[in-house]
Amino acid sequence: MLLTHADFGPSAANWQLPGFAALEHDGTHVWQGDLCGISLTLECAVIGKAVREGGWNLAHACPRPVRSLVPAGSVYFCTLNDPIDINTAITALHGQHIGHDTALGRGELAVGIW
């Protein structure tokens, strides 16, 4: 679950977790990738309406580009691809930040079991 808004880039699928790629597995389209060294398969995502952020650049006296962010509260349901202990995965992911602008607090994760 995202505790803060996340910026996953300007692509059309900016909801998609960074480093994940779409592929077909047993006739089903899935997304697989790594987060903080943990290999995952995205099973389902519950995502709110995109948060639009823009503003004014005071230094250059011009508008900042408007971008879409994945809203806080969005939930990604994933399964582990590797045979590792679930507690190891939770410890590795909980509290981490993913995406762009992580130094600003974007993309903070809360991880649990579903």
pLDDT at residue 12, as a whole number: 61
List the one residue out of 83, 101, 79 whose CA is nearest residue 35: 79
Q: pTM score, two decimals?
A: 0.88
Domain presence at residue 34:
yes
Domain presence at residue 99:
yes
pLDDT at residue 25, as a whole number: 79
**pLDDT one-digit tens code per residue, 65-107:** 999 999 999 999 999 999 999 999 999 999 999 999 999 999 9
Q: What is the mean pLDDT of residues 53-63?
A: 94
**pLDDT one-digit tens code per residue, 1-55:** 999 999 998 876 788 899 899 988 788 888 999 999 999 999 999 999 999 999 9
Provide the CATH number for the domain around residue 63. 2.60.40
Give burial (CB, 10 Å; 0-12/13-18/19+) of 69: buried
Domain presence at residue 12:
no
Is 78:41 a contact under the CB 8 Å cutoff?
Answer: yes
Domain presence at residue 113:
no
